[in-house]
């Protein structure tokens, strides 16, 4: 099922990129068979290998690799070998590289943050590129992180505007508990004064949003004193520079930056 979904998505990407045909490659390259390498131009954590390979497969090319997504690669490493008709391979090139570069950039950033966070889990958010969320979340997993929610129907996450709409935190949680018992309930708390109230409402997860390190240290202890089973998540402006400071006071640290603000990995494709 996953492979079927990915192929459907990649076919959509190809329609967007190729249109009615790659007129440059069709006119210039012809039908001769070529061999190519995709090469890492810097060190990074690899992600998107299978997805990039499917791009070539969809245009009739073959590919091989000795690597797997999640592997650490070095500058100069050969990521993939591709064989196929030149016009088809070159038509696939940009999309395949875009996927590899974007996903590897995310996996690399996540991997760095996971190492800095120690025993605390690092999670993504829904701050993803519309239409590319599945791939970005998969890259988070390849980097050693947790994808968090894929969609709004995964779990109940009560944020500030939900609380205002319901008329208060207690009422919002009460209404949420009318839903399925199989859906976890998470509450976002942005004020230290609301921490104890949230912890006494029998929720599964409390997210401490945009609080200082001093505030989350106190809040973490308050929550665990009330109910040690509540998972404490910290979010809001968490990045590679401060995650090590926040991580000791959380079970999970979530960061939108790992999907919305990443540098793509540098790769290139060369005809042999």
Which residue is it, tokens 């109230």?
A: 197
Mind telling me the catalytic residues?
127
Compute how many other C-beta atoms are within 10 angstroms of the C-beta atom of residue 161: 9
41 near 267, Cβ under 8 Å? yes
- For residue 81, with 0-12 CB atoms within 10 Å meaning exposed, 13-18 middle and 19 or more buried, which class applies? middle
3-state secondary structure of 172: helix
Beta bridge partner(s), residue 271: 36
All residues at 6 or more sequence positions from 265 whose CB lies less than 8 Å from its CB, including other chains: 40, 42, 44, 100, 101, 104, 105, 108
């Amino acid at each position: 099922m996953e492979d079927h979904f990915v192929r459907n998505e990649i076919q959509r990407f190809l329609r967007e990129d190729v249109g009615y045909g790659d007129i440059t490659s069709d006119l210039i390259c012809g039908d001769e068979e070529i061999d190519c390498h995709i090469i890492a131009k810097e060190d990074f954590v690899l992600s998107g290998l299978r997805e990039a390979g499917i791009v070539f497969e969809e245009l009739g090319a073959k590919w091989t690799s000795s690597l797997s997504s999640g592997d650490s690669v070095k500058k100069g490493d050969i990521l993939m070998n591709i064989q196929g008709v030149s016009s088809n391979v070159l038509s696939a090139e940009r999309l395949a590289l875009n996927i590899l570069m974007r996903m590897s950039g995310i996996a690399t950033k996540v991997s760095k943050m996971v190492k800095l966070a120690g025993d605390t889990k690092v999670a993504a958010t829904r701050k993803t590129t519309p239409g590319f969320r599945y791939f970005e979340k998969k890259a988070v997993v390849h980097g050693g992180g947790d994808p968090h929610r894929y969609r709004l129907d995964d779990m109940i996450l009560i944020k500030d505007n939900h609380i205002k709409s319901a008329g208060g935190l207690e009422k919002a949680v009460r209404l949420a508990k009318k839903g399925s018992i199989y859906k976890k309930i998470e509450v976002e708390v942005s004020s230290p004064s609301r921490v104890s109230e949230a912890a006494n409402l029998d929720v599964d997860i409390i997210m401490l949003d945009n609080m200082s390190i001093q505030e989350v240290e106190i809040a973490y202890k308050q929550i665990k004193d009330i109910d040690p089973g509540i998972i404490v998540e910290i979010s809001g402006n968490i990045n590679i520079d401060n995650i090590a400071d926040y991580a000791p006071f959380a079970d999970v640290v979530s960061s939108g930056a790992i999907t919305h603000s990443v540098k793509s990995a540098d790769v290139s494709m060369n005809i042999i």
